[in-house]
Amino acid sequence: MSSRSAIPSPAQRTVRQYPSSNDFDDDDDDDDKWSDRHHHRRTRQAEEIITRMPAVPSPVVRESRPWSKSRRMPPPSLPRQSSSNAYLSPPEDPRYRPRTPPDPAFSDDLSDSTTTTTTTTKRPPPSQVSSSGTLGDKAYRYKELGRSEFRLVRLLRRTKTDIKCEIVHASLVTPPTYVAVSYAWGDAGDTRKIKIDGVSVSVSASLHGALEALRQRNYDVLVWVDALCIDQANQEERSEQVRLMTNIYAQAESVAVWLGGEADDSVLGMRFLRELAETARMPNAIARFLSKAQKQELEAVASLFERDYWSRLWVVQEIFNAKTIQILCGTSSVEYSAFSRASAILGHHREILNSLFPAGQGRGQVALRSQFSVPQALVHQGPASFPDFRLFRDAHRDDNPNATILLDALCSCRRKFAADPRDKVFGILGVLPPRIREEFTPDYSLAPKEVYTDVVDYLLTTTSSLNVICEAVHFPLHSNAVTHSLPSFVPDWSHIPSTTSLAQQHLFSAGGNTRAEFRFLDDRRNKLEIDAVYLDTIGSYGVAVGTLCTLMDYLMAFLQWRALLLGTITADDSEDSEYSARIQQAFCRTLCLDQVPSPWDSSKDPRKWQRVVYHIFASFLRKRLPHLALDSALESHLHDREIEDEIDEMDDKMHRHFVQDHFGERMMGRRFCLTEKGLMGMGSGFMAMGDIVVVPLGCDLPILLRPEGKRGEYRFVGEIYVHGYMRGRAIEQVDRRDRRVAKYILH
């Protein structure tokens, strides 16, 4: 491999949210990062995780070596030398002895290998073998693998400082005991030397560190590691071995996760995680333990959670399929169950973390790799960045007909990185049921366009839903070779958008209970014909809110959008007219995508939410722009005593969180708009005048289409919230023959 990276019923949807770079700064302090947007949802998930997880045995943290230095026997955390020992050499069985000739194709630059597989029965000594690729003067050729065979690396016991290995073939039908290594490849230019069957080979510094951590003094260790066990230059073998990876990790006696060498107080951080996990047995002691935590300890943990390992896509399926997992970092080790439980505890106690790291204060001695604050990293990075594995385990049941689990996996892992764009699909297959894996056999001879279009084809056919096209996010605009090759309705999974689709955030049903009607119009699947209900055409729109925002960005957007709305009120309508009140109520509901908090969603007082919205925005405008004159309506809401009494129970920081949670994240990447006939909406910042708004059959959201060319074809622009049309109203109008279904060709 060249790199490392469904939806159930609406009530079951769970999409992990991450704090984004738009967690805006307080204007009074540029370092005052806004808390991320889904604390309450994260808290509920963490409570459930803590409740359901079994008791954790005391993890082992050692500062000398990840395993015991005993000269007489393996350490207690490993089995003794027996048939069940994952870390010892396999029994002397001809099936597991090194084949003749040995078969790796390694030399000075493994990561840049272009050497092709050569099948031979005999070969000269390694020193006499020349390489036709970029592996250097010496090469150790891979021998062709048999059916259901895979390679293993015998990591020889320590005799000198240099690492020595052998390559063996084994059968997945009757595999020996071995350890599968899960790690991030790291910088391809940063290499170290190891010896494989006497041949000096360059491997990444990350892999070298992992092998050194696993190497033992008194016995050999049998491991599987992708960079050495797969001929990366052989496209056919690479495809075949990727298909076997689920079984390779599932059949390993254990999975060793290598986070990297000691740095940023990692020993301190590993010890703290062990101790925090142990307090889970005493729930009443958790808050007290965290309150007494030293900043240096939490910063060390945040640094561990921000290591490159957690951002890689391939590690998701490696963790998912493992029997047992050990986390290694430098000379320290902790059970993954402890790591995961400690992460859940931190997510459940966000308030304590915020109190220890007040907004605007620096990050201390540890420089985090992202723009996130220490509390954000502790809550959202590390194990918390993985999708909810329970969703995928449920999908493996034979009686679960949920075909949209594929879309769930793609969306929940979208922020994970993979160097090869095809791996954004191939890299998640290991968490999916066999019936879906069979439809997407890894094949690296396919272009990314074909792989991504296969995803759309499969989901349209098996789910009769068009929701997948809403994942084609075109704002902010981005450009790469993959995007240019794709039709506008095919999501570019290699791109990590700064916004999340509405279908993944909220439960809408614009298409009612209809099923998608579609067909591809050409063999290359570049044109898709869909059935949809026409609503209207975009007549005007406001400024687009970006994805790197401060509070002032939201305040300015609010003012401009509201001015655009008020411009539709004629001179015959006063500010106090019933019409004016009605459209301003709709405006305030549009700002939050009609997700009004229950305390203010009152049928007795339809204007209450409008009063809350105007009071909060007017208050911030008065504080931040004291010389800006407010219109009479906003000024009156500024002094709304009833709302003031309710809202003023929150301090200024809570006010900012309120804006972020209920407006900021929903405005981000979107703009307010009015259609020619007066419909109100908020959609993709990519929209333009003349775009049409339609509700496709079998789609939970209305979408924007842009007429292009003279063939009656359209470009998919993005999704859009249309007030009053998110619960099947368009379909009801079709049933009453007030609207009609038409065909649209997307390209």
**Is residue 356 within a helix (H) or strand (E), and if so which, with residue range?**
helix 350-356
For residues 580 and 568, give the distance between their C-alpha atoms in angstroms, rounded to a whole number.
Answer: 9
Contacts of 133 (CB under 8 A, 6+ apart): 105, 113, 114, 115, 116, 139, 233
More confident residue, 7 or 454: 454
pLDDT of res. 726: 96
Alpha-carbon distances of 281 from 47, 53, 57, 289, 378, rounded to whole Å: 14, 11, 10, 12, 21
For residues 36 and 369, give the distance between their C-alpha atoms in angstroms, rounded to a whole number.
Answer: 17
pLDDT surpassing 80 at residue 728: yes
For residues 168 and 157, give the distance between their C-alpha atoms in angstroms, rounded to a whole number.
Answer: 16
What is the average pLDDT across 324-344?
Answer: 94
pLDDT tens-digit map of 32-67: 434 444 444 444 444 444 444 444 344 333 333 333
User: Which of 54-68, 71-85, 604-618 is predicted with the least confidence, judged by mean pLDDT?
Assistant: 71-85
The pLDDT confidence band at residue 576, using thresholds 50, 70 and 90, is low
pLDDT of res. 126: 36
Reference 105, options 232, 4, 11; nearest CA is 232
Please answer whether residues 395 and 405 qualify as being in contact, where contact means their C-beta atoms are separated by less than 8 angstroms: yes
For residues 627 and 630, give the distance between their C-alpha atoms in angstroms, rounded to a whole number.
Answer: 9
pLDDT of res. 638: 84
pLDDT surpassing 90 at residue 644: no
pLDDT tens-digit map of 307-323: 999 999 999 999 999 99
pLDDT of res. 480: 82
Alpha-carbon distances of 274 from 116, 297, 349, 550, rounded to whole Å: 46, 12, 17, 37
For residues 252 and 245, give the distance between their C-alpha atoms in angstroms, rounded to a whole number.
Answer: 11
pLDDT surpassing 80 at residue 625: yes
pLDDT surpassing 50 at residue 102: no
pLDDT surpassing 60 at residue 534: yes
pLDDT of res. 575: 53
pLDDT surpassing 60 at residue 103: no
For residues 273 and 305, give the distance between their C-alpha atoms in angstroms, rounded to a whole number.
Answer: 11
Strand-pair partners of 607: none
Torsion sign across C-alpha atoms 571, 574, 577, 579: positive
Please answer whether residues 127 and 140 qualify as being in contact, where contact means their C-beta atoms are separated by less than 8 angstroms: no
Contacts of 379 (CB under 8 A, 6+ apart): 36, 39, 42, 346, 347, 350, 353
Contacts of 19 (CB under 8 A, 6+ apart): 35, 36, 37, 372, 373, 376, 380
pLDDT tens-digit map of 420-445: 999 999 999 999 998 899 999 999 99
pLDDT tens-digit map of 255-271: 999 999 999 999 999 99
User: Which of 193-197, 288-292, 600-604, 710-714 is predicted with the least confidence, judged by mean pLDDT?
Assistant: 600-604
pLDDT surpassing 80 at residue 325: yes
What is the average pLDDT across 67-76?
Answer: 35
What is the average pLDDT across 86-105?
Answer: 35
3-state secondary structure of 135: coil
Q: What percent of the chain is modeled with pLDDT above 70?
A: 77
Most confident of 100-109, 563-572, 586-595, 659-668: 586-595
3-state secondary structure of 547: coil
The pLDDT confidence band at residue 252, using thresholds 50, 70 and 90, is very high
pLDDT surpassing 90 at residue 134: no
The pLDDT confidence band at residue 233, using thresholds 50, 70 and 90, is confident
What are 727's two structure tokens? Answer: 């619960």
What are 247's two structure tokens? Answer: 């079984």
**DSSP label of 312:** B
pLDDT surpassing 90 at residue 142: no
Question: How large is the C-alpha radius of gyration of the chain?
Answer: 29
What is the average pLDDT across 79-93?
Answer: 35
For residues 90 and 154, give the distance between their C-alpha atoms in angstroms, rounded to a whole number.
Answer: 9
Report residue 43 CA to chain centroid gap.
18
Reference 695, options 747, 740, 746; nearest CA is 740
More confident residue, 463 or 403: 463
What are 214's two structure tokens? Answer: 């696993």
Reference 718, options 679, 677, 685; nearest CA is 685
pLDDT tens-digit map of 376-407: 899 999 999 999 888 888 877 766 667 789 99
The pLDDT confidence band at residue 571, using thresholds 50, 70 and 90, is low
The pLDDT confidence band at residue 653, using thresholds 50, 70 and 90, is low
pLDDT of res. 654: 72
pLDDT surpassing 70 at residue 73: no
For residues 132 and 123, give the distance between their C-alpha atoms in angstroms, rounded to a whole number.
Answer: 15
Q: How confident is the prediction for the chain on average, in pLDDT?
A: 80
pLDDT surpassing 60 at residue 109: no
For residues 240 and 706, give the distance between their C-alpha atoms in angstroms, rounded to a whole number.
Answer: 42
Report residue 584 CA to chain centroid gap.
37
pLDDT tens-digit map of 668-681: 999 999 999 999 99
What are 546's two structure tokens? Answer: 């970006």
- Beta 670-675 vs 680-684: how paired, if at all? antiparallel
User: Which of 37-51, 174-188, 344-358, 668-682 is predicted with the least confidence, judged by mean pLDDT?
Assistant: 37-51
pLDDT of res. 559: 94
What is the average pLDDT across 528-549?
Answer: 94
Contacts of 335 (CB under 8 A, 6+ apart): 56, 57, 59, 60, 324, 325, 326, 327
Strand segments, DSSP code E, in 635-732 are 670-675, 680-684, 692-696, 703-708, 713-722
Q: CA-based angle 523:524:527, to the nearest 5?
A: 95
pLDDT surpassing 60 at residue 482: yes
More confident residue, 244 or 89: 244
For residues 170 and 329, give the distance between their C-alpha atoms in angstroms, rounded to a whole number.
Answer: 29
pLDDT of res. 424: 96
Strand-pair partners of 257: 182, 327
- Beta 528-541 vs 518-520: how paired, if at all? antiparallel
Exposed, middle or buried by CB within 10 Å (0-12, 13-18, 19+), for 292?
Answer: exposed
The pLDDT confidence band at residue 560, using thresholds 50, 70 and 90, is very high
